[in-house]
Amino acid sequence: MDKIYIRDLEFIGYHGVFEEEKKLGQKFFVSLELATNLREAGLNDDITKTTHYGEVAETVKKVFFQKKYDLIETLAEDIAREVLLNYPLISELKLEIKKPWAPVGIPLKDVSVEITRKWNEVYISLGSNMGNKKENLERAIKEIANIKDTFIIKESKIIETEPFGYKEQDDFLNSCIGIKTLLTPREILKELLSIEKKMGRERKIKWGPRIIDLDIIFYGKEVIEEDDLIVPHPYMEYREFVLKPLEEIIPNFVHPLLLKRVSTLKKELENENN
């Protein structure tokens, strides 16, 4: 990935936990490393195919002076978010804020924080077998589209499938969507659980009837193994209701653990069931 660097933008700001810092002000340096694709701009000498670093600097300045922050950590988050939201050619950034006059009582060169933030592609499975199933899926997709810093980029057709595991229940309607988001895996999980709760989901029987079921299938190529969050979703390779709509939108995506394309996993499952 190509990079654009903006180093040591210098500001006098009024950020800090201590009241004197907010009154007297002090020096700050802000640096950015922007990941982007510069090939087309370079080949065609076309400024519209790249990110205007002067405009990015002005965006940093706007956020820097919009309010007084206690923590430069929070200032860094706000700058990173504003840059990623406003400059679509930037896929990832590294941001450092240095505070050379930090009041720590010991001589030092500076104190700094550095964060890396990026757009992430996440794939979510949706299912419903209670009430108006189609309306349930459509409402859930609208709720996901309203999550902060999140945009729907792909959406499969809705399919009907037999229940998995617990058979004494109605058939399901299922679909998959792809989203582009700045949220972390745990933040996305929290939002999905909130939507399920808002829509009236109750967890009474394992694999039982549900008004809505929302599962993270892939979060980019990340592998996460925590007590309440496992990504890629376990056993997805055995579930037609996941693989069929998923193949429609990302057939060539490679499972980071199984090292097989989604289309291959679906074909293998079909062969096992025949």
Determine contact, residues 130/209, Cβ cutoff 8 Å: yes
Tokens of 163: 């229940």
Tokens of 93: 């950034």
The catalytic position among 99, 133, 244, 266 is 99
> How far is Cα 130 from Cα 136, in angstroms, rounded to an integer?
9
* E strand or H helix at 120: strand 120-128
Q: What is the helix, strand, coil percentage profile of the chain, to 5?
A: 35, 30, 35
> How far is Cα 134 from Cα 171, in angstroms, rounded to an integer?
12
- The reply to whether 61 belongs to the active site is no
Residues paired with 34 in a beta bridge: 4, 93
> How far is Cα 209 from Cα 227, in angstroms, rounded to an integer?
24
SS3 27: strand
Determine contact, residues 32/64, Cβ cutoff 8 Å: no
Determine contact, residues 256/121, Cβ cutoff 8 Å: no
- Show which residues are catalytic: 99
